[in-house]
Amino acid sequence: MRGEQDGMRLVRAELCERVAALRALRRGRRDPRFAENIDGLKRVAKVYGLDAVVRLAAALERSAAGDDGRRSLYLATLEDAIGCASPSDEACEALLASVSVRFCA
């Protein structure tokens, strides 16, 4: 059990590094590394069953790649999802809803 927890910590650390790399990129859609980093993040998250991370990354890819304000919001929420202990559908929906609510505010 402990080894499994340590393994997930490493996975979560890698995902956080990928989010940091996305933050470092400036004009998202104009930089092919942005799409590559999102794809890599989604791939790793999917392998480890972190569906909330996969869905948020896909939403970032669709709607916020070129908008720095939206991108920052998605990246912050991705960090929350990476740290989320509950990979349930409800947790995923709550994280996605939090992004929508902030856009409307």
User: Domains of the chain: which residue ranges?
Assistant: 2-104
**Residue 16 and residue 88: Cα distance in Å, rounded?**
20
Name the more confident of 98 and 105: 98
Instruction: Calculate ∠ Cα 62-67-72, nearest 5°.
Output: 90
Helix H or strand E encompassing 52: helix 51-63
pTM: predicted TM-score of the whole model, two decimal places: 0.81
**Residue 32 and residue 10: Cα distance in Å, rounded?**
26
- For 32-84, how does the pLDDT look when each residue is reduced to its tens digit (9 = 90+)? 788 888 999 999 999 998 988 998 999 888 876 556 677 888 898 899 889 88
**Residue 6 and residue 36: Cα distance in Å, rounded?**
26
